[in-house]
Amino acid sequence: MRPFTFEAHIPRTIFGSGTLNQLPDEVRRLHAKRVLLVIENTDRQRATADRVSALLGSAAVGTCTDAVMHTPEEITLRALNQVEAANADCLVTVGGGSTIGLGKALSVRTGIPHIAVPTTYAGSEATPILGETVNNLKTTRSDPKILPTTIVYDVDLTLTLPRHLTYTSGINAIAHCVEALYSSQSNPLIESVAVMGIAKLRQALLTLREMPEDMAARGWPLLVLGPQASAWAT
């Protein structure tokens, strides 16, 4: 077996059914008082954001609905103004890669904690990578500081994920596993997790095709097998 050095950067992770209800406790754990929600402007994400606002009560001081693909710099700068105007001391992102990407961009610029609540299987919440668009050019950087402070995986939130997004984001998680296998920084530990991830994700997607509400099958893609392998290999 070849020698290797392994260093992991993994956020605090909460997983299960109904775990969104633990969000107020996580905010208090961070000693945060003023939370800005970050979402995409879609009916599904607005509905979840309304639920989050109700859970947080007076601690929820606003909602940024500007998240879009590839995190354009002008969107980030506009959202920064909203962070400052709200005097926010914590970010909660609800959604997929676009929303979590904007949360990363805001958190790394301000230093305030970021709680990610993924509703897809994209896995960007588990990577220290931030992709942004600056002057119409896509830029990418990696830094442990980019990682969210906490990830809250609530399997229940995937029940409203449209079938086509379930499959495409699940296949994206498999791609993360394959990517980890061929990374220049891969090692036997990462490879074993990635191989197991591919098998579990494949079985989960096949099960969801027949039984869309199977909670165990919905849980496996969220259980960071694909995303975690990707995070370890970056």
The structure tokens listed for 140 are 């990418």
Structure tokens at 159: 């029940």
| pLDDT at site 9 | 80
Contact 56, 85 (CB under 8 A): no
pLDDT at 131: 95
Q: Look at strands 129-134 and 137-142 and give their pairing.
A: antiparallel
The SS3 of residue 151 is strand
Segments making up each domain of the chain, as ranges: 12-160, 163-232
Domain covering 163-232 in this structure, CATH number? 1.20.1090.10
DSSP string, 4-65: --------EEEEESSGGGGHHHHHHHTT---EEEE--SSHHHHHHHHHHHHHHGGGEEEEE-
Contact 179, 144 (CB under 8 A): no
CATH for the 12-160 domain, from 3.40.50.720, 3.30.9.100, 2.60.120.580, 3.40.50.1970: 3.40.50.1970
Structure confidence at residue 227 (pLDDT): 60
Going by C-alpha positions, the residue among 161, 154, 153 that lies closest to residue 213 is 161
The 10s digit of each residue's pLDDT in 200-222 is 899 999 999 999 989 988 988 88
Q: What is the pLDDT of residue 16?
A: 94
* Spans of the chain below 70 pLDDT: 224-234
Task: Render pLDDT for 167-200 as a digit per residue (tens, 0 to 9).
Answer: 988 888 888 888 888 888 888 888 888 888 899 8
